[in-house]
Amino acid sequence: MVFADLIKDYGPSVPWVLAVAGLLYNNRTANHREKRKEFRADIDSIEKVVKELSGKLTTYFRLAEHTVDTKRSEAEIKVLFKELDFKWERLSRRQTGGTLGLFIDPCSQALESLFDQATGQYFESADLIPPADVNGHVSDLQIRSLIFVEALHSLFLKKFDGI
Amino acid sequence: MHMISILKNFSENPAGRYVTDGPNSGQRFRDELLTPALRTHDEVVVNLDGALGFGSSFLEEAFGGLVRECGFAATELTRKLRIVSNQSIYEKRVWRYINAAATQKKRSV
């Protein structure tokens, strides 16, 4: 009897409750999808800068002598690093707290490792890198670039796919 | 408090580690601006904004060199030196280089 009364009293509002729940669910899913797109776009944008940077660094460290282009090349590399730093800071600010911090650290470490290696000993130096070391140095830089990009993708997978 | 602006007081394009690498090196910045300011003021604020960008060689020599070459302790620098930048990553880098230089100095003693 009590159940019948409940149905009688609240039955008409059930479709409304279902409609509101559906709207909330759709809204939540759409937000998640948008965040995923934004995050993906940020990572793609960072990856693009890393690729450009990697190309510039390869050309720079393969220079056989200091020319008028050397200074321009050094300035371009510094500006690209600045852009990369900005983009990385923006992305990492999206991810504060929680266990994702554990996945931000490897990205930060990979970026710092790339930065130190790229703009360390032989960058903006009066000494050119010894010819015998050029290939090893360039290869090392490319590996560090890939490690950074891989760390970003891991961050994305962890956030959106729980992997 | 003493303010040093990289852009206004030094160069738009800080570059290189040693004076032999160029006129806007980390060594020159440290020896001509940073060290004298730290020796004569209780608080020194370094504003890194406005520069084209920084290489690790410049930052390491300018700030890590304070510990390695000029005899400052990391704890003293924590008290006296403040880094200002619209990119917090630069501030973190400066302190990373200072702490790394301090750790290396401890090991070598």
Between A68 and B11, where is the model more confident? Answer: B11
Report pLDDT for A64. 76
The residue among B88, B85, B44 whose CA lies nearest residue B66 is B44
Give the count of Cβ contacts less than 8 A between chain A and B: 60
CATH fold of A43-161 reads Methane Monooxygenase Hydroxylase; Chain G, domain 1 (1.20.58)
User: What is the tally of structural domains in chain B?
Assistant: 1
Q: How far apart are the CA of A38 and the nearest CA of chain B, in angstroms? A: 21
Contact B52, A119 (CB under 8 A): no
Q: Which of A57, A125, A127 to mutate to test the interface with B (most CBs of B within 10 A)?
A: A125
Pick the residue from chain A with its C-alpha nearest to B25: A124
Specify the pLDDT at position B30: 97
Within 8 A of B52 by CB-CB distance, chain A residues are 75, 78-79, 82
pLDDT over 80 (residue A95) = no
Interface check for A82 against chain B (CB to CB < 8 A): the answer is yes
CA–CA separation, A102 vs B33, rounded Å? 39
Query: Which chain B residue is nearest to residue A120, measuring alpha carbons?
Result: B57
Tens digit of pLDDT for each residue in B62-86? 999 999 999 999 999 999 999 999 9
Question: For chain A, which residues make up each domain, given as ranges?
Answer: 43-161
Residues in B lying within 8 Å of A, measured between beta carbons: 13, 15-18, 20-22, 52-58, 60, 87-90, 93, 96
Domain range holding B36? 2-108
Backbone angles phi, psi at B105, to 5 degrees: -65, -40
